Amino acid sequence: MGEAWVEIFDATDAAAQADAVAAVWCDAFDPIDDLAEWRDTIFDRHRGREAYRLAVAFDIDGPVGLAWGYIGQRGQFWPDRVLDRLGRVAEPWVGGHVEFVELAVSRRARRHGIGGRLHDALLAALPNRHALLGTSSDPDDPAVRLYRSRGWAPLGLLDADAQVMLRPPDPARSRDGRAARSSSRADRVAGAEHPRR
């Protein structure tokens, strides 16, 4: 595959990326039956969250990857589920954390470093705090391998198939330091299930 690049969008600029994100989502996860409902209940709802950032990877043929995250708070569905399932082990970490919500790469573009670049670009664009995500409990799952290689560690099981992972802040950045650019061609790369919240 050819050259690809990653762009970062804030909540306002991300609105225009909904179709690009939906295309990657359908390829990487499942087809979206009702685009308007997906946009309302997932894409736009998350876009309204504190410090939201979207990372989209493109190549010359169009979008090939997505990632997004925000600051999660108690009272929201997923953080409260984590507290409910993990109990005391999660107490210090839930609320005001970075929530690394989605990461996906189109099937044709995998194993070319795009997932890793999306991960790094998104975290750099979010406040530098400890971060949580939900993913497969299978240690051989590609996403889990990616996360483990990038500083995430298991925190506990949500159920038999799903775990919560925790990543500490980057000691080289200030607490709320972010990448300076928004909607910019931030990161050129060569070659080239979602938990409900």
Interface residue list for ligand COA (CB under 6 A): 28, 103-105, 110-116, 135, 142-143, 145-146, 149
Name the residue whose CB lies closest to ligand COA: 115
Nearest distance from residue 97's CB to ligand COA, in Å?
A: 16
Q: What is the rounded distance in angstroms from the CA atom of residue 122 to the CA atom of residue 67?
A: 7
Nearest distance from residue 146's CB to ligand COA, in Å?
A: 3
The residue among 81, 116, 80, 123 whose CA lies nearest residue 101 is: 123
Angle at 120 between CA 2 and CA 135, to 5 degrees: 100
Nearest distance from residue 25's CB to ligand COA, in Å?
A: 9
Based on CB atoms, which residue is closest to ligand COA, 63 or 175? 63
Q: What is the sign of the dihedral through the CA atoms of 138, 141, 144 and 149? A: positive
Based on CB atoms, which residue is closest to ligand COA, 29 or 174? 29
Question: If you ran DSSP here, which 8-state letter would residue 173 be given?
Answer: S
Nearest distance from residue 35's CB to ligand COA, in Å?
A: 19
